Structure 1
Amino acid sequence: MTAIDPADLDLGLDTFGDITRDAAGERVSDAQTIRNVVEQAVLADEVGLAFFGVGEHHRPEFAVSSPEIVLAAAAARTKDIHLGTAVTVLSSDDPVRVYERFATLDAVSNGRAEVILGRGSFIESFPLFGYDLRDYETLFEEKLDLFSQLLTESPVTWQGSLRAPLEAADVFPKTAHGLTAWVGVGGTPESVVRAARYGYGLMLAIIGGPAARFRPFVDLYHRSLDSFGRDRLPVGIHSPGHIAETDQQAWEEAYEGFESMNNTIGRERGWPAYSRGRFQHDVGPEGALYVGSPETVARKIADTVGSLGSTRFDMKFSTGTLSHDKLMTSIELYGTRVQPLVREMLAERG
């Protein structure tokens, strides 16, 4: 276990804008789901959370395909919370446009913008925007290299194999203090080393198995930063969860949404049907779901950040059909009860 100073730990939230159902069981519209996401961000700010992330997807289960626009709406109604993506699929986007959009969001939010860059675990954006999946690795490597140079906010001269070159190209607007940028990693050593090489924070997406098994990736990240002559950079964690007053209530509320989402994606990827048995394992100590009462979730978060030495934990609080009112309750409990409990637990452990 690694001692974590409670003052150094940030707790945040992530959502993909999952299409939910209302109290009558009816499917909520895409438009209402997006408006609900903005309300969720406002509440997250009110209860003192550090970050609110919105993922980018291009498929029917998720309403948000342009997260920066949703985040800009949230920026206008929030004061302190940092706003970013979870993730931006850089491989099927243009790094110049990504920089420009986030620099604009940074201005609108008065310096609260963050970007988490990823290759994309869903591939719909590649054919949608005219990219060849055979270039999957090269696209991300080259675009990450270009984006890294754009972050300097100086004129960039760059050349790759899959995009037109740039010659002393300057991009606008400029930010007041630079952009905070991370790379989302699902657990491959090459991705960890890449994040260190380009000088990005490491955001580990832990959606299966015990968090402790990712410790070798954290150690590899730190060794890689040292080998590249870089200062220590933050390690964050993204994992799914849901909070209610009791464990049993949280499990009952969350199961249908997890079952729906896992079976929908599983049919495409050849996964076995989701079951209660698997769910109960996943919410236990050896699983990656942070579902339960405030005390249960706080204990699991404290264990996770201690085992990995991370200073940021983002709970992916929306999954499948879980309704907006239950999501709002989960956010409130996360900020008002889980957050102080985690800090108390970490302080007690020294």
Structure 2
Amino acid sequence: MNAWVAPLLKPEPVALMVLIILLGSFIQGMRRGASGSAKHLFFFIWQAVSVVIALVLAGRGASRLSPVIRDWLEARNIIVPQEELSAAKELWYTVVTSLRDFELLRFGALFLVLYSLVRYLLRLLEPLCYMLYDALMQPAKHADQVTRRGRPSAYGRLSGTASRTTGALIGALLGGGRAFLVIAVLFVYVTLAPHALGADAIRSSAIYAKTAAELLDPVAGDVLKRGPVITDAVQAEFRRVLQRKYEVIDAAVPANIEAAAAEVTKQSDNDEAKARALYDWIGTRIAYDWDKANNYVEHGVWKEQTPTETFDTRKGVCIDVARLYAVMARSVGLDVRVVTGLGATGNGSYGPHAWNEVRLASSGAWIPLDATWASSGDWFNPAGFSSTHIRET
């Protein structure tokens, strides 16, 4: 017991929070008495069991349904129309194609739906739990009523001070459960985001460290220890969804851009020649918009820009150039994608950047190119491209 009390008495935020929870539950238990505290403990345990059941069923259900949903969506052969879409249709095609193509997103969506459904169904059982609790406590309630009429009983002796003492002990037990849940939430937070705000302060807590080492680590196993990897995967999936949004928005190619792309590539007789011609054209005609970049870096103001605006104004930042290249390349039959990640800044560091990759039909290979950097050299599939461009994975 002393091994747990000593860390709890150290003056730091996590220990203070645990003490407040324990003290509050102790006082509530004393006020409710034995029967009231027992009732709260019963339904606290029921809620905890419900959450565990919902998590297990949702996880297993999502794992089994995910490939079924993927196959069903693939069978629908959903193709984004090459026309101007309303905001609602853009959202629809982004969501549907993302669910079809992105496994982690599909699993997460199914998990949330199934978890919510199971929790709802379990809540429907709560009246039965009340009936069960009342049935179990009926003898005690009867004994309490007998005591009030002046005939003492075994349970009646818990009235008054004894009832409040028993309630306080049950309340302390309930507080321990609540404190454990709070530390478990902190454990998940620190594990999934080890460098997040407050993570170091949480890890430095003696009571947190002891609970994590002796109770949470053995239960979590390797699942949460892979937390940073899982977090990176979620972030990468989210970026892919954002990229899919651009693909849906940019599916419609304006007639003037399509005509320009056709004119630029009319002398090209293969995919690589077309890709190179578009790289040269965009790289020499689209100026980098330093005002837009500085406005974002210095003031956090970002101006969303369509490929049409980039084409008309002849300026944009890397994502604008990459999106325009993708639209023009797609209009002449090239398989192209926008790639986001980090680009070398020239001073030994890296910053957010975007470029393109084009698939050559003759070999099936994807070749990288960076039309934004065209003014500083030849960035059409050069050797060592990956040393200056780190794609998000």
Mark yes or no: TM-score above 0.5: no
Higher-helix-fraction structure? 2
**Which is bigger in relative contact order (C-alpha 8 A, separation at least 6)?**
1
The TM tier, using the shorter chain, reads under 0.3
TM-score (norm 2): 0.24
Which of structures 1 and 2 has the bigger CA Rg? 2
Higher-strand-fraction structure? 1
